[in-house]
Structure formats: C-alpha cells, structure tokens
A and B are shown apart, each in its own frame.
Chain A
C-alpha cells in the first residue's frame, strides 16, 4: 500500500513538472523566432566555434535589418540562444536536450564539427526538432536516415575527390598513383573513403595508405615513404594539425611530389604560418569568396567577405560563410511553410532549392547538400612572398590556372 502511495506521488510530481514546463514552451515569443545552438566557445574547437557563431550572428543581423521573416502575414525576427558545449560531445547532447525541453526551442542550428553534430542529431531527431547545420560533414551523418537534419555543406567524402579527378585528367585520363595519410577521426576517415571511391572510379592505385594518430605532430615516416615511392599525388587530411605538420615537414625534408592536396588549409592559416613553403598546396574548401553565387541578403562572396571583415576584423573562413547560409535556409523554409509547425517546416526544408552567396542548396533525402560542389584552391605566392589562395578547380569557378606539376624543391 505504502509503495503504491510513493509511486502515485512520484507520478503526480512528474505530471506537475511536465505541465509547468510545457506551459513555458516558447518557440516564437512576440515577434521573435528563437533558434537554439550549442557551440564550442571554449575547448579545442573554440576557434572554429567562434567562426561559426560569428557567421550565425552576421546572418541574424542582416536578415532582421532587411525585413525579417514573413510568416502568416506577420513579420518575425530571428534570435538565437547560445550555450557553450566546451567542445565536448556529451555536453553538446545535454545542451541540446536542455534547449529543447527546458528552453522550449523548436528549431536548432548545428554546432561545430562532425563529432558534435553526431552527438546532437539523435536528440533533435527524438523530439522532431528541425536542425539546419553548417559544420558537420561526416558521411555517417547522412546514412542514418535522420529526417530532421539538414546540412548546407557538401559531405566529407567529396572533399578531395576533385583533386584526384583533376590529377587523372592531367595524366591524360589514365589512373594515377596515390599516397594518402589521414588522421584517425570520423571526418578524415570519410575523406579517405571518398578517395578510395575516386581511385576505383578512375582506375588509380593507392600505394601508401597511412592512418595518422589523433595526437599527430610528426609524419616524417609517411614522407620518407613518399620520397622513396614517388607517387603522383599526395593527399593529407588531419585538421589544422595535419595541414601545418605536412607543410613543415615536406619543406624540411624537401619532398617532391607533383600534386599535394589537403584539407583545412584556411583554418590553419597555412600561408600566414608557413609563407612560401605552403606554395602550390591544393586545398579543399566548401567556399571561397571569389565564387560568383548570389543572393539578396549578402549579394555575393566578395561583398560578404568585406562586410564580415568590417564587423569582425578578419577575412571570413568558409566555416563562417556556411554558418550564415544556414540562417538563409531557415528563413526561406519558414516563409515557404508559412507556419511554425515543426513538421511543415521540416517538409519545407526538405524541398529547399535556392541559391545563396555560399552556393546552391538542395537537400538529398539523407539531409546533405547535393547541389554545391567542393572547390579546390591553390596557394600562390608572388616574388615578395605574399601568398594568396586562388580557386583552380572546378574549371567553371577557377580564377587562376592550376600549377602542375609542383616545381621541385631544388628549382625553387
């Protein structure tokens, strides 16, 4: 009998708790649409976390100042509740839960990095909260059948695909010999899968396939192999650490390879940290300011970059640009859904087909953006040692001609 009483009081306490918290649910307060985001403001992803937040803020200000979002004949403004996830996936998942069940947020923006997006996606999916994310590119995000996850960026397996295709094209359509070194994390391993696919498709051969440790700071062993086996292409992906280590050691060990392709060059500020040593490196990028995509809010890449620099004092990396694009996608979806019903907004998001300054956006059933190719830029330096990133592939967007093969160290 006593036990029954305890259970009864426990259940009623729960009911009271839920009814009060439901009453505080607030997706739209007055004329504000409140979005939630857990972002890495401290911890190891904090630099890119801040780039993401700046991108979001820039788009919120711009959309609000240019008339806001029109739903049901009324005008609304965006507002974002931020929490710091400390670059920790567990914390990110807790915060997503908190944003949804305590703060009553019904629409979410993504965190920074594939790992954290992976932690949050099951939570948003459970509550049926549409999430537009701009910084989780891992392929595994898009194969789980998530219905409420939308990514404005191209998936990780497409990052360096273009490089292999370009190398094969320059080789007269014949397959090339590839050396690759990838860090053992979800993102880099997805990039690796993309290269494996591309190699199979083009009849290329992978002669070195190294997996680098997470705390990588030395890839001399891989480079010795490259020096001895002389591949046509060297592909490296290991976030900023990988890019910086590779350039430093390639220059120090004078490794000659006709094509060097990598990821995270602009996040690593390669040309600033390494100067002329980084010359000729090919870098995969989601976006570059010289691309000629257009929209009504930011006009084009160049204008976006100038406005961003005016506001935050630095040239926008692609992490900021894609984050701004996420807000444009939300605005478009709200207006087409003409409602704040989560299901209707979700369906509108799924039907997105638009152009932004960042690129075309159209989602596949898995949630990834299939309408925006990756671009490759090459670090090019002038005689004075000033280096710039110039888009070289795909040809449609190229602003400079690819320098291939990379000149030997003895000739530089």
Chain B
C-alpha cells in the first residue's frame, strides 16, 4: 500500500481533476444507456462497440486531414442512422421481450461489430492527434491535457442540450411518456415504435460523440468496447434509471474513486476496487429494499 497521496499533496488535486474529467465522459455514455434502458428496457451490451465505431469515424476524418474534433459533429449524425438501422434490423424484434433475450441479442451485435471493425479497420491500435496543448496549474504540479478538458466540456454540452431537448421538444416528451408507461402512451396516440427507434438512434449518437472524444484523448481498437459497456452499466446501476443528475454524479464519483484507488491501493486494484464498490452498493440497496418490504408487511 502506498501513501503517495499524503507524501505529495498535489496528487490529491490531480486525482480529483483527472477523475472528474474522465467521469464526465463516462457519464455521457452511461446517460445513453440509461435512456434506452429506461425507455425500452434493453441493456445494450454493444454500447461500447458503438463508442469505438464513433471513434473510428473521428479517426478516419483525422487520416484524411480533417481535425478530429469535427468528429464530435459528424460521428453522432452517422451513428444516429447506424442506431436506427440496428433498431430496425434487430432491436424491434426483442424490445417487448424478456430482458435476457435483449442481452443475448445485443451481445450478438457486439461480437458482430467487433469482427466487422477488425475486418474493415484492421487490428492496430490507433489514435487521432488533436494537437491541443496542456494546461499547467499550481506551479506545474498539476497538469491537465487540454484534450481531456475539451472532452469534458463537449460531454457536458451534449448532456445539457439533451436534457433541454427531452423537456421541451415533442419527441422528447413522447420519449419520457413512453418511459413512464408505454401502453398508456400508445393509447394516447404516441407512436411508440417511432419513439423506440429515435431513442436507440439518440443513444448511438451519444456513443458517437463519446467515441470521437475517446479517439482524441485515449486510443481505439476494435476489441476495446467492452470496458466502456461495463463502466456505463455500473454508472447506471449506481445512479438508477431515469436519474440524469444521478448519472452525472455517479460518473464523476466513480472516476475520482478509481483515481484514488490507484494511488492508495496500487494500479492493479484500480478496476477491482470499482467492482467492489458496485457490489457494496448493490448489497446496501438490497438491504434497504428488504427493510421497506418489512414495513409493507
């Protein structure tokens, strides 16, 4: 066990900032997952693969001399239609079925996407260079790559736009109505089929944005999607469905927690500690739930 956090106090500031910047990006992916989970009751295992596909869009723009930051606009547009296509081909056949069926279906899509991306783009690890510099704080003791700040800013921007869209627009209201009670919404004239397609499309578009940001800040590879799926799944589990501030908070919270686990327990326990936290939260929730049930008795 290390006590670097105490030996070098600036590490604490660095860890908090790193965690928050990372967490915001994950929260964006998780928000998409929460949205379609809430509306369609589908857990999308292919979430991470959609992210990576978005990343490849930005990467190819970069290869052809366009600044990868434009991927933030282009990737969601392309990914929206990819999302609609996936919905029409597969998801609409499993949307009213058991949760297990949808997990199997999206797992299949995930494998298919991985192999197709590998086939189309090759198995090399790639990245897009944004050329953004670095921000130094506190006498150069805290460093923040501008690409990470840019990612966090864009993630927040998209999240805010989406929240406003959900509240104000007709489609947004229809999506929220369907999430609350699909049958009632249908009776009242909401075309739920269209709502489902749009929801899946919006989720894919969010993944596209996140992917473009990841290609600028980290690296992409056809088989790197699963960790993003797992991470967003955990954020949603911790936050609960339909709870946007909760998703943002749990995203950042997990990001910071992970950074501190790294400094205190060591890098090898970084991911393990997040899983441990997840188990503890689930146990705690169950405990709370069972007490509520006793009341009811």
A-side residues, CB < 8 A to B, are 42-47, 87, 181, 184, 210-213, 215, 217-218, 220-222, 224-225, 227-229, 239-241, 244-245, 248-249, 252-254, 268-269, 273-275
Contact = CB atoms under 8 A, between A and B. Distances in A.
Interface stretch (B169-177, B178-186, B221-229, B288-296): B221-229
B5 to A, nearest CB: 11
B218 interface: yes
B243 interface: no
Nearest to B143: A253
A217 to B, nearest CB: 4
Given A245-B218, A248-B129, A254-B140, 20 more contacts: A44-B118, A44-B221, A44-B222, A87-B123, A211-B267, A213-B268, A213-B271, A215-B226, A215-B227, A217-B214, A221-B262, A224-B143, A241-B125, A241-B221, A244-B125, A244-B127, A245-B219, A252-B143, A253-B134, A274-B129
A220 B18 contact: yes
22 contacts: A42-B119, A43-B123, A44-B221, A44-B222, A47-B124, A210-B266, A211-B268, A212-B267, A213-B268, A213-B270, A222-B267, A224-B11, A224-B18, A225-B4, A228-B8, A241-B125, A241-B219, A244-B125, A245-B219, A248-B218, A254-B134, A273-B129
Given A211-B266, A217-B219, A221-B15, A227 B119 contact: no
Interface string B85-103: 0000000000000000000
B108 interface: no
Nearest to A241: B125
B63 to A, nearest CB: 11
B134 A252 contact: yes
B26 to A, nearest CB: 11
Contact of A228 (B10, B22, B271): B10
B147 A240 contact: no
A43 B119 CA distance: 8
A256 B15 CA distance: 19
Given A42-B118, A221-B15, A222-B267, A269 B124 contact: yes
B49 interface: no
A245 B226 CA distance: 18
Interface of B: 4, 8, 10-11, 14-15, 18, 22, 115, 118-119, 122-127, 129, 134, 136, 140-141, 143, 145, 147, 214, 218-219, 221-224, 226-227, 259, 262-263, 266-268, 270-271
Contacts of B140: 254
Contact of B123 (A47, A217, A229): A47
Contacts of A225: 4, 11, 263
Given A227-B143, A249-B145, A43 B118 contact: yes
Contacts of B141: 228
Query: Which of A213, A220, A241, A244 neighbours the largest number of chain B CB atoms within 10 Å of its CB?
Result: A220
A103 B61 CA distance: 46
Contacts of A273: 126-127, 129
A130 to B, nearest CB: 30
A297 to B, nearest CB: 30
A43 B114 CA distance: 9
Nearest to A218: B218
B143 to A, nearest CB: 5
What 7 A-B pairs come out closest when comparing CB atoms? A252-B145, A211-B268, A210-B267, A217-B218, A221-B262, A215-B227, A46-B123
A85 B222 CA distance: 18
A222 B4 CA distance: 11
Given A44-B222, A212-B267, A252 B118 contact: no
A241 B141 CA distance: 27
Contacts of B134: 252-254
A224 B122 contact: no
Nearest to B214: A217
Contact of B267 (A221, A240, A269): A221
A377 B11 CA distance: 33
A112 B119 CA distance: 18
B8 to A, nearest CB: 4
Contacts of A274: 129
A316 to B, nearest CB: 16
Contacts of B267: 181, 210-213, 221-222
B259 A221 contact: yes
A107 B65 CA distance: 48
A348 to B, nearest CB: 36
